[in-house]
Amino acid sequence: MSAGTGLTRPRVVVLGGGFAGVYTALALEKALGGRDDFEVILVNRENYFVFQPLLPEVISGSIGITDMVVPLRRLLRRAEVHVRDVEAVDLEARVVSTSPGFRPQPHRVGYDHLVLGLGNVTDFRGLPGLPEHAMPFKNLGDALRLRNHVIRALEEASIEKHDRELRRQLLTFVVAGGGFSGVEVAAELNDFVRAVATSYRGINPEEVRVVLVHSQERILPEMAEPLALFAQRLLQKRGVELRLCQRLQSATGTEAILAGGDRITTRTLVSTVPASPHPLLEGLPLSKGPGGRLVTTPELRVEGTANVWAVGDCALVPTPDGNPAPPTAQHATRQAAVCAHNIVAAIRGGDCRIFDHRGLGTMGSLGHRSAVAEIFGLRVSGFIAWWLWRTVYLMKMPGWGRRLKVASSWTLDLLLPPDLVELRLRGSQGLSREHYEPGQEVFREGDLGDCLYIVLSGEAEVLKGAPGREQVLTQLGAGEVFGEMALLEHTTRNATVRCRTAMDVLRLPKHEFATLAAHLPDLRASFEKVMNGRRGAGSK
């Protein structure tokens, strides 16, 4: 019998469907074998797993957009998959709350063992202008956005023939961060823009600038110096400008501003730094180390807990040499196996294992059929390293189907010119219109507060109480606003809104409302006044 959920068997809930989370769930599935003595639920924002090492290749289109993602349901055969955002974790009650789906109601998932594998985030806080103007590069959406943006910049530059300053901005591409991901992004971007620029009659490829900004004396600090220097020389030969010992400090829509005051005119700024721990973990009363990562024991338990485990980029895992494990896919997958083993040992009884993976080596692609690699102490660079890089990652892709897709994309890429299609994916994320019929409920008492509504036409009633015994609190009509209370107080809805007539509303999602309220104190104050007035009327 499960202690945490009251179910007949223990439940393991894994948060995050990246390398750490997915490989933990896979190892747990394997451990289940023919038995059924515990259940596994994995919660992830997307319904797919991203093979991040190949993400930079999406920029140039050398692999298809979905070649390096695998649907979670194809990977996980026995675990239950919840495609939702994790919104909160209550460690005392052992419950995870996930975001509303089509119904604005909280979904709560109880657990006996909790695995935190939420990765890290690119955090631009404290760097003026970066949240607005710099593009992160972490997931498939980021890669697609960057690719589309770069193609748009080229399209615009080919039209704007006479505005020299604008052309300079459009044809300069800046990447901040000289670690693996920054270098791979800069290399792919450089290859791509230089290759496709020849397809635009209005662009002279000589006008293209790709700049890599890095705060240390050399790029790829994770690698041995000779390999990093090889990478530097190669990138420079291909036209990448290196700005070493310089740090990106702020940005505007047209400039990347460095700490020393240098300004690089650009309309495309990608930043792969700084990486911060997941914001959800910040608020949890768990042991945290440098950079806010969760401190674990060598068995992968979060220090001071019995049933909370952490793996991957969000975890600070000790290794036998005394240093924490680096945040790489290689380490995340090994941690996942140890974590799953130890959870099964905790459920069934048995010995725990400790994480003692020492790292097999490092590899980084430099585009244009070259790479740098350091494997089992052996250092290689150039074409052989590139071949090794591709072979290793191809074999590491989960499933033969994906391997086949990637291999055929790579083969075609050797023969065909890069694709130039700009996918316009603009969907309405902000303010939207909604229509309701008489009797329909906009939301129910107890639902999650996920947006604010403005009545355009029609009428509704605000009701309180159990169905059948509801009391009408007030009426709403055109020009009135409702739904503010749950947003301002971060609580669930305290009343039900049901339409009396057909009603049209404007719907503003919680995030956009929070942004407006944070920057317009008068707006926030006026909503608080409405809220207090309503609360006063409700209590009479």
Ligand X SMILES: Cc1cc2nc3c(=O)[nH]c(=O)nc-3n(C[C@H](O)[C@H](O)[C@H](O)COP(=O)(O)OP(=O)(O)OC[C@H]3O[C@@H](n4cnc5c(N)ncnc54)[C@H](O)[C@@H]3O)c2cc1C
Tell me which DSSP letter residue 206 carries.
Answer: G
Which residue's CB is nearer to ligand X, number 118 or number 372? 118
Residue nearest to ligand X (CB): 18
Q: Is 62 in the site for ligand X (CB under 6 A)?
A: no
Q: Where are the alpha helices (DSSP H) in 459-509?
A: 484-489
Which residue's CB is nearer to ligand X, number 158 or number 287? 287
- Which residues 6+ apart lie within 8 Å of 20 measured at CB? 117, 119, 311, 312, 313, 314, 315, 332, 333, 335, 336
Nearest-approach distance from CB 304 to ligand X, in angstroms = 21
- Which of 19, 111, 124, 436 is the binder for ligand X (CB under 6 A)? 19
CA separation for the pair 338, 312 (Å, rounded): 12
**61-75 in b/e burial notation, b at 16+ Cβ within 10 A?**
bbbbeebbbbebeeb
Query: How distant is the alpha carbon of residue 111 from its chain centre?
Result: 24
Q: Torsions phi, psi of 457, nearest 5?
A: -155, 155
Given the rule CB under 6 A, which of 259-267, 329-337, 342-350, 529-537 is the region that contacts ligand X? 329-337
Cβ atoms of residues 114 and 3 within 8 Å: no
Cβ atoms of residues 243 and 379 within 8 Å: no
Which residue's CB is nearer to ligand X, number 330 or number 496? 330
- Which residues 6+ apart lie within 8 Å of 337 measured at CB? 23, 27
Which residue's CB is nearer to ligand X, number 10 or number 312? 312
Q: CA dist 500 to 223, 401, 480, 504, Å? A: 67, 53, 15, 12
Q: Is 104 in the site for ligand X (CB under 6 A)?
A: no
Nearest-approach distance from CB 329 to ligand X, in angstroms = 4
CB atoms within 10 A of CB 471: 10
Q: Is 61 in the site for ligand X (CB under 6 A)?
A: no
Nearest-approach distance from CB 59 to ligand X, in angstroms = 10
Among positive and negative, which fits the CA dihedral 308, 310, 315, 321? positive
- Type and span of the H or E element at 308: strand 308-310
Q: Is 85 in the site for ligand X (CB under 6 A)?
A: yes
CA separation for the pair 353, 332 (Å, rounded): 15
Q: CA dist 394 to 389, 405, 407, Å? A: 8, 10, 7
Which residue's CB is nearer to ligand X, number 454 or number 514? 514
Nearest-approach distance from CB 180 to ligand X, in angstroms = 5
Which residue's CB is nearer to ligand X, number 23 or number 513? 23
- Which of 10, 16, 104, 483 is the binder for ligand X (CB under 6 A)? 16
Q: Is 46 in the site for ligand X (CB under 6 A)?
A: yes
- Which of 281, 329, 442, 451 is the binder for ligand X (CB under 6 A)? 329
- From edge to edge, which strands make up the β-sheet containing 113-116? 80-83, 39-44, 11-15, 113-116, 308-310
Q: Is 156 in the site for ligand X (CB under 6 A)?
A: no
Tell me which DSSP letter residue 290 carries.
Answer: G
Nearest-approach distance from CB 233 to ligand X, in angstroms = 21
Q: Is 258 in the site for ligand X (CB under 6 A)?
A: no
Q: Is 267 in the site for ligand X (CB under 6 A)?
A: no
Given the rule CB under 6 A, which of 14-22, 188-196, 422-430, 455-463 is the region that contacts ligand X? 14-22
Which residue's CB is nearer to ligand X, number 257 or number 273? 273
Tokens read off for 22: 């997915």
Tell me which DSSP letter residue 200 carries.
Answer: -
- Which of 20, 72, 127, 460 is the binder for ligand X (CB under 6 A)? 20
Cis peptide before 509 (omega within 30 of 0): no
Instruction: Kindly identify the residues of this chain, within the stretch 269-308, that bind ligand X according to CB under 6 A.
Output: 278, 280
Which residue's CB is nearer to ligand X, number 133 or number 334? 334
Q: Is 89 in the site for ligand X (CB under 6 A)?
A: no
- Which residues 6+ apart lie within 8 Å of 481 measured at CB? 452, 453, 454, 455, 527, 530
Q: Is 448 in the site for ligand X (CB under 6 A)?
A: no
CA separation for the pair 366, 183 (Å, rounded): 7
Q: Is 116 in the site for ligand X (CB under 6 A)?
A: no
Q: Is 335 in the site for ligand X (CB under 6 A)?
A: no
Output Rg (C-alpha) for the chain, integer angstroms. 26
Which residue's CB is nearer to ligand X, number 86 or number 197? 86
Nearest-approach distance from CB 19 to ligand X, in angstroms = 4
- Which residues 6+ apart lie within 8 Å of 177 measured at CB? 213, 214, 271, 272, 273
- Which of 10, 27, 40, 56 is the binder for ligand X (CB under 6 A)? 56
Q: Is 396 in the site for ligand X (CB under 6 A)?
A: no
Q: Is 177 in the site for ligand X (CB under 6 A)?
A: no
- Site pattern 25..44 for ligand X (x: CB under 6 A): ------------------xx
CA separation for the pair 48, 42 (Å, rounded): 12
Nearest-approach distance from CB 227 to ligand X, in angstroms = 14
Nearest-approach distance from CB 77 to ligand X, in angstroms = 19
Q: Which amino acid is at 44?
A: N
Three-state DSSP state, 41: strand
- Which of 10, 18, 104, 178 is the binder for ligand X (CB under 6 A)? 18
Q: Is 140 in the site for ligand X (CB under 6 A)?
A: no
Nearest-approach distance from CB 385 to ligand X, in angstroms = 12
Residue whose tokens read 């009633």:
461
Q: Is 70 in the site for ligand X (CB under 6 A)?
A: no
Q: Is 386 in the site for ligand X (CB under 6 A)?
A: no
User: Given phi > 0 = left and psi -120 to 50 = alpha, else beta, which region is 119?
Assistant: left
- Which of 104, 117, 277, 449 is the binder for ligand X (CB under 6 A)? 117
- Which of 38, 111, 137, 230 is the binder for ligand X (CB under 6 A)? 137
Residues that bind ligand X (CB under 6 A): 16-21, 43-46, 52-53, 55-56, 85-86, 117-119, 137-138, 180-181, 184, 278, 280, 312-314, 327-330, 332
